Amino acid sequence: MSPTSNGRSTSSKMPSTRSTEHPVTGERWVRTVDDALHFVRSVGLCLIFEEKRTAKREPMASLWDVVDAPDKQPGERGHGERAMAVWRLKNELPLTYPDEIFYGKLPNGRAMLCTMARLTALYRTQRQPIDALGKDARRLFEIIRLRPITGGDLRLDAGFHLPSDRSRFDRALQELQIALQIARVDTDPDTWFLFDAAFPRIASVVSAT
- We find that the CATH architecture of domain 127-209 is Orthogonal Bundle (1.10)
With beta carbons less than 8 A apart as the criterion, state whether 198 and 183 touch. Answer: yes
pLDDT beyond 80 at 80: yes
Mutual angle of helices 116-126 and 200-207, in 10-degree steps: 60
> How sure is the predictor about 82, in pLDDT bands with cuts at 50, 70 and 90?
very high
DSSP conformational letter for 29 = -
pLDDT beyond 60 at 153: yes
Q: How far apart are CA 47 and CA 58, in angstroms?
A: 13
What spatial distance separates the first Cα and last Cα of the chain, rounded to whole Å?
33
Domains in the chain: boundaries: 1-121, 127-209
Residue 15's pLDDT is what?
40
pLDDT tens, residue by residue, 9-65: 344 343 443 434 455 667 899 999 999 999 999 999 999 998 776 656 678 999 999
| Positive/negative CA dihedral, 102, 103, 104, 109 | positive
Backbone φ and ψ for 108, nearest 5 degrees, come out as 75, 10
